[in-house]
Amino acid sequence: MNRLNGKTAVITGGATGIGLAAAKRFIEEGAFVFIFGRRQEALDAAMAKLGTHARAVNGSVTNLADLDRLYAAVKAERGTLDIVFANAGAGSQLALGQITAEHIDETFDTNVKGTIFTVQKALPLMSAGGSIILTGSSAGTTGAPGMSAYSASKAAVRNLAKTWAEDLKGTGIRVNVLSPGATATDLAKEALGEEGQKIFAAMTPLLRMADPAEIAAAAAFLASSDSSFMTASEVAVDGGLAQL
């Protein structure tokens, strides 16, 4: 398939996990991809897998100067931008009674403020036909024990798409949310261990965790004209976790 032929995409958090899987899929479908992340070692490893149809920019979505540098690179090399996949995220467990201000700041700075400025700073390079994809989570619908800040931040991301769809009326730019459930990224497998993965798998009607490539396939759909009449929507790719 070449649904993204000639398109230019930015993927934040694009060096690992869902972001890297999406970068691979976008390139397979004809896009040129800029991946953006904080760890140079991970970016270098990703570039070795992605080849000549990708560029890597080191930076954080919480640093506005880094985002300016990202979009300056896009403008210099490609001129315009068609797809933004605001995928960078952060989350960790702290149960009610243990939550700290630092924990809230870290989570919301990345997941909410970072998402807002990733998109806002991209808009001058985008035009009609552009697609913005925000990474939500099943936790933004269901909640998750010990994940108050993360769950609330992802609920906020879901609302950003609804609000921005109104703000973007008349521009021809669409914005949708992609909400994965438990996904078997390298980071998740390391953090959960074999037993933890079994627990999360058992929570879904499909009795398994998602492969990152399955999330990437949904991202490619939202990035392409196949979803041309979709905006303000949430696409759940969660094995049914938040749907029952």
Q: Which residues contact 94 (CB under 8 A, 6 or more apart)?
A: 100, 103, 146, 148, 149
From the candidates 154, 169, 189, 198, give the one annotated as an active-site residue.
154
Q: Which tokens in the block code for residue 93?
A: 């467990």
121 counts as catalytic: no
Q: Which residues contact 125 (CB under 8 A, 6 or more apart)?
A: 71, 74, 75, 80, 81
Three-state secondary structure call for residue 58: strand
CA 88-119-132 angle, 5° bins: 85
113 counts as catalytic: no
C-alpha to C-alpha distances, 169 to 144, 218, 226, nearest whole angstrom: 34, 24, 20
- Which residue carries 């991202």 as its tokens? 219
C-alpha to C-alpha distances, 146 to 93, 236, 238, nearest whole angstrom: 5, 22, 19
Number of Cβ atoms within 10 Å of the Cβ of 94: 17
From the candidates 7, 24, 71, 150, give the one annotated as an active-site residue.
150
Catalytic residue ranges: 150, 154
